[in-house]
Amino acid sequence: MTTHALQGSQTGKRWFYIGVIGAVAGIVGLIVDPERTWASWLHGALLPLTIAAGAAAFVAINHVSNAGWATTLRRIPEAMMNWIPIGGLILLIGAIGGVHLFGGGHATHGEDHGIRTAWLDPTFLIARLGVIIALWTWLGWRIRNASYAQDGDGDTRWTRILRNRSALFLVVFAITFTAASFDWI
């Protein structure tokens, strides 16, 4: 066995042990203080998701504005966009586990029971989260795939396609990120 193979297996074991320690800490946290644990999970899940979504917005803005300077570094934020579904899944797990943190849709005395109750309904909240993540993922993949196709054949029609897909992403992102900010934060 080579030295490189041994180092790889040691690194894998190290990450496995770190994962086990994290899982045990999470279980202990759920037992000791579930509300704080779920709130921490939700806030922690927002970090990779918003970085990935910001990378997608960066790529889309560059395509819409026809910014040639970003072509050389575009692959980095395009790779970061791959974290949207992963971050979304982590956030979805936290939202399902900590759905009680969102208020549960119960209006307090003197409030309108209709809109607030409907908006904060746990099922509707989880469904909105899923739809938003699915939209960001789908549009991000469409942009990235068109970018790779442009590199493959060099056809200039991809520039127009990328601009259109990016413009659509930015409109959807502006609306959904605003709504998601109220929901998730």
Tens-of-pLDDT digits for all 185 residues of the chain?
555 555 557 888 888 888 888 888 878 877 888 888 888 888 888 888 999 999 999 999 999 998 878 777 888 999 999 999 999 998 888 888 777 776 655 555 555 567 777 777 888 888 999 999 999 999 999 999 888 888 888 778 888 998 999 999 999 999 999 888 877 77
What is the spatial distance between Cα 91 and Cα 51, in angstroms, rounded to a whole number? 13
Query: 18 with 10: CB under 8 angstroms?
Result: no
For residue 1, the 8-state DSSP code is -
Would the CA dihedral through 130, 132, 133, 138 be positive or negative?
positive
Residue 133 in contact with residue 91, Cβ under 8 Å? yes
Cβ atoms of 170 and 64 closer than 8 Å: yes
